[in-house]
Structure 1
Amino acid sequence: MPLTLEQIRSDVAECLGEDPADIPLDENLVDYGLDSVRVMALLERWRHEHAVQADFADLAERPAIEAWAPLLGVA
Protein backbone atom coordinates (compact mmCIF):
# COMPACT_ATOMS: atom_id res chain seq x y z
CA MET A 1 0.00 0.00 0.00
CA PRO A 2 1.52 3.35 -1.02
CA LEU A 3 2.11 6.08 1.53
CA THR A 4 -0.18 9.12 1.21
CA LEU A 5 0.04 12.70 2.42
CA GLU A 6 -2.80 12.07 4.86
CA GLN A 7 -1.10 8.91 6.17
CA ILE A 8 2.10 10.87 6.82
CA ARG A 9 0.09 13.54 8.64
CA SER A 10 -1.80 10.93 10.65
CA ASP A 11 1.39 9.08 11.62
CA VAL A 12 3.14 12.30 12.66
CA ALA A 13 0.11 13.36 14.70
CA GLU A 14 -0.04 9.95 16.41
CA CYS A 15 3.66 10.17 17.21
CA LEU A 16 3.15 13.62 18.78
CA GLY A 17 -0.13 12.80 20.53
CA GLU A 18 -1.97 15.41 18.47
CA ASP A 19 -5.01 15.54 16.22
CA PRO A 20 -4.02 15.26 12.54
CA ALA A 21 -6.00 18.44 11.80
CA ASP A 22 -3.61 20.30 14.11
CA ILE A 23 -0.52 19.24 12.15
CA PRO A 24 0.26 21.64 9.28
CA LEU A 25 1.59 20.35 5.99
CA ASP A 26 3.98 23.23 5.39
CA GLU A 27 5.44 24.13 8.79
CA ASN A 28 8.54 22.94 10.60
CA LEU A 29 7.50 19.92 12.65
CA VAL A 30 10.25 20.54 15.20
CA ASP A 31 8.13 23.47 16.35
CA TYR A 32 5.40 20.92 17.16
CA GLY A 33 7.70 18.70 19.22
CA LEU A 34 9.08 16.35 16.58
CA ASP A 35 12.63 15.35 17.48
CA SER A 36 15.23 13.15 15.79
CA VAL A 37 14.20 10.04 17.72
CA ARG A 38 10.62 10.41 16.51
CA VAL A 39 11.75 11.06 12.94
CA MET A 40 13.76 7.83 13.05
CA ALA A 41 10.80 5.91 14.46
CA LEU A 42 8.50 7.24 11.74
CA LEU A 43 11.05 6.48 9.03
CA GLU A 44 11.52 2.91 10.26
CA ARG A 45 7.74 2.44 10.33
CA TRP A 46 7.38 3.75 6.78
CA ARG A 47 10.28 1.61 5.56
CA HIS A 48 8.64 -1.46 7.04
CA GLU A 49 5.03 -0.72 6.04
CA HIS A 50 5.52 1.15 2.75
CA ALA A 51 9.02 0.21 1.49
CA VAL A 52 10.15 3.84 1.74
CA GLN A 53 13.79 4.41 0.74
CA ALA A 54 14.33 7.93 2.17
CA ASP A 55 17.32 8.78 4.32
CA PHE A 56 17.07 10.19 7.82
CA ALA A 57 19.32 13.14 6.91
CA ASP A 58 16.98 14.20 4.10
CA LEU A 59 13.96 14.19 6.40
CA ALA A 60 15.82 15.93 9.22
CA GLU A 61 17.03 18.66 6.87
CA ARG A 62 13.49 19.86 6.07
CA PRO A 63 11.06 18.59 8.73
CA ALA A 64 7.78 19.48 7.05
CA ILE A 65 5.21 17.09 5.60
CA GLU A 66 5.15 18.84 2.21
CA ALA A 67 8.94 18.61 1.99
CA TRP A 68 8.87 14.94 2.97
CA ALA A 69 6.19 13.86 0.51
CA PRO A 70 8.43 13.60 -2.59
CA LEU A 71 11.21 12.01 -0.56
CA LEU A 72 8.77 9.38 0.69
CA GLY A 73 7.40 8.62 -2.79
CA VAL A 74 4.12 10.53 -2.44
CA ALA A 75 3.08 12.10 -5.73
Structure 2
Amino acid sequence: MNIERMRGDVAEALAEVAEEPAAFADDDNLIELGLDSIRLMSLATRWRAAGFEAGYLDLAMEPTVAAWARRLEASNVVEERR
Protein backbone atom coordinates (compact mmCIF):
# COMPACT_ATOMS: atom_id res chain seq x y z
CA MET A 1 0.00 0.00 0.00
CA ASN A 2 1.17 3.54 -0.66
CA ILE A 3 0.31 6.98 0.68
CA GLU A 4 -1.71 7.92 -2.42
CA ARG A 5 -4.01 4.97 -1.84
CA MET A 6 -4.23 5.95 1.83
CA ARG A 7 -5.28 9.50 0.91
CA GLY A 8 -7.85 8.18 -1.56
CA ASP A 9 -9.33 5.78 0.97
CA VAL A 10 -9.57 8.57 3.56
CA ALA A 11 -11.23 10.90 1.05
CA GLU A 12 -13.74 8.18 0.23
CA ALA A 13 -14.49 7.57 3.92
CA LEU A 14 -14.92 11.30 4.60
CA ALA A 15 -17.26 11.62 1.60
CA GLU A 16 -19.52 9.04 3.26
CA VAL A 17 -19.95 11.18 6.39
CA ALA A 18 -19.95 14.74 5.06
CA GLU A 19 -22.28 16.30 2.55
CA GLU A 20 -19.42 18.36 1.16
CA PRO A 21 -16.14 16.77 2.14
CA ALA A 22 -13.46 19.41 2.33
CA ALA A 23 -9.99 18.85 1.04
CA PHE A 24 -7.78 17.75 3.87
CA ALA A 25 -4.11 18.19 4.62
CA ASP A 26 -1.93 15.32 5.72
CA ASP A 27 -1.70 16.79 9.23
CA ASP A 28 -5.43 17.49 9.70
CA ASN A 29 -7.16 15.61 12.50
CA LEU A 30 -9.48 13.34 10.54
CA ILE A 31 -11.80 12.71 13.46
CA GLU A 32 -12.41 16.45 13.73
CA LEU A 33 -13.22 16.43 10.01
CA GLY A 34 -15.92 13.81 10.57
CA LEU A 35 -14.21 10.44 10.30
CA ASP A 36 -16.13 8.27 12.73
CA SER A 37 -15.08 5.10 14.54
CA ILE A 38 -16.91 2.76 12.17
CA ARG A 39 -15.12 4.15 9.13
CA LEU A 40 -11.82 4.22 10.99
CA MET A 41 -12.26 0.52 11.79
CA SER A 42 -13.10 -0.12 8.16
CA LEU A 43 -9.92 1.65 7.01
CA ALA A 44 -7.83 -0.31 9.52
CA THR A 45 -9.31 -3.60 8.32
CA ARG A 46 -8.83 -2.74 4.65
CA TRP A 47 -5.26 -1.62 5.17
CA ARG A 48 -4.28 -4.62 7.30
CA ALA A 49 -5.50 -6.82 4.44
CA ALA A 50 -3.15 -4.83 2.17
CA GLY A 51 -0.21 -5.42 4.53
CA PHE A 52 -0.26 -2.24 6.61
CA GLU A 53 0.64 -3.20 10.17
CA ALA A 54 -1.70 -0.93 12.11
CA GLY A 55 -4.95 -1.54 13.90
CA TYR A 56 -7.85 0.65 14.89
CA LEU A 57 -6.26 1.88 18.12
CA ASP A 58 -3.01 2.73 16.35
CA LEU A 59 -4.92 4.87 13.85
CA ALA A 60 -7.21 6.46 16.44
CA MET A 61 -4.34 7.56 18.68
CA GLU A 62 -2.97 9.87 16.00
CA PRO A 63 -5.70 10.36 13.36
CA THR A 64 -3.76 12.11 10.60
CA VAL A 65 -2.56 10.89 7.23
CA ALA A 66 0.94 12.15 8.11
CA ALA A 67 1.09 9.94 11.22
CA TRP A 68 -0.28 6.97 9.34
CA ALA A 69 2.24 7.51 6.54
CA ARG A 70 5.08 7.49 9.09
CA ARG A 71 3.74 4.22 10.47
CA LEU A 72 3.48 2.83 6.93
CA GLU A 73 7.09 3.81 6.22
CA ALA A 74 8.23 2.19 9.46
CA SER A 75 6.38 -1.04 8.64
CA ASN A 76 7.91 -1.05 5.14
CA VAL A 77 11.42 -0.73 6.61
CA VAL A 78 10.74 -3.69 8.89
CA GLU A 79 9.44 -5.72 5.92
CA GLU A 80 12.55 -4.89 3.87
CA ARG A 81 14.79 -6.14 6.70
CA ARG A 82 13.04 -9.52 6.85
Fold-level similarity (TM above 0.5)? yes
Q: Structure 2 stretches of 5 or more lacking a match?
A: 16-20, 77-82
Instruction: Note the aligned Cα RMSD (angstroms).
Output: 1.9
Count of aligned pairs between the two proteins: 70
TM-score (norm 1): 0.79
Structure 1 runs of 4+ with >6 Å offset: none
Matching residue's letter, 1:31: E
CA distance in 1, matches of 2:72, 2:38: 18
Higher relative contact order (CA 8 A, sep 6+): 1
Does the aligned pair in 2 maintain the 1:39–1:59 contact within 8 Å?
A: yes
Identical counterparts, % of pairs? 41
Superposition TM-score, scaled by structure 2 size: 0.73
- Structure 1: gaps of 5 or more residues: none
